[in-house]
Amino acid sequence: GAGVSQTPSNKVTEKGKYVELRCDPISGHTALYWYRQSLGQGPEFLIYFQGTGAADDSGLPNDRFFAVRPEGSVSTLKIQRTERGDSAVYLCASSDGTSANEQFFGPGTRLTVL
Amino acid sequence: GEDVEQSLFLSVREGDSSVINCTYTDSSSTYLYWYKQEPGAGLQLLTYIFSNMDMKQDQRLTVLLNKKDKHLSLRIADTQTGDSAIYFCAESMRGGSQGNLIFGKGTKLSVKP
């Protein structure tokens, strides 16, 4: 069956520009997570949605980062006024909310800010 | 705060067993996970263990949990070159069925033929 998909796979932008990263979770999964992975590090949590609402956004680094999930399925991570330090792989995961909290990851979007 | 620690590198010969170790700090974690990441790819969930278990076996994978010492290990039997990847240990932030995971920095496993 289809897994989590993310688009684009690569995004190169200039400092100060706005970017949007998209995540399509596994069909029927109610929980959706965004993580960021820098080189040589493990994924770091950004935000998670239960349905349409952000259940926890404590990992967002500052107010330049925002995410939405208006219909409880696809989610978009939005970054304003990008900085070089935002360069990383942005990972999305989804979960069906069962007791084991198994999270299934997409291939990620590699963001490069020049 | 929460922290998950792993050794960064492990090198083994094909056919040997590999043991990847992890320590975690959040004693309330309900589930602990092992993920595999191959170059340029996303994370693949390998297995997980519930905190009231001390061992779980799944084909070539054996997970051992020492809750008292907050130590988790992943043993891969008969390691193959296709097992070469980065392995991440993760704990569930708040336990239960939701919430973010806290990951270690990953252990890079190199398998020599």
Chain B residues with CB under 8 Å of A100 CB are 31, 48, 50, 97
Tell which of B3, B9, B37, B43 to mutate to test the A interface (max A CBs under 10 Å): B43
Report how far residue B6's alpha carbon sits from residue B91's, in angstroms, rounded to the nearest whole number: 13
Cα dihedral: A100, B29, A26, A59 (round 10) = 170
Among A33, A28, A52, A54, CA closest to A44: A33
pLDDT, tens digit, 9 for 90 and up, residues A40-64: 999 999 999 999 999 999 999 999 9
Of A42, A91, A97, Cβ closest to residue B97: A97
| Interface residues from chain A to B (CB-CB < 8 Å) | 4, 31, 33, 35, 40-45, 48, 50, 55-56, 59, 91, 93, 95, 97-108
Mean pLDDT of B27-48: 89
Residue B51 has pLDDT above 60, yes or no: yes
Give φ, ψ of A17 to 5 degrees: -80, 165
Q: Binning pLDDT at 50, 70 and 90, where does residue B46 land?
A: very high
Residue B76 has pLDDT above 90, yes or no: yes
- Supply the pLDDT for residue A43: 96
Cα–Cα distance list, B113 to A51, B12, B16, B37 (Å):
47, 9, 10, 20
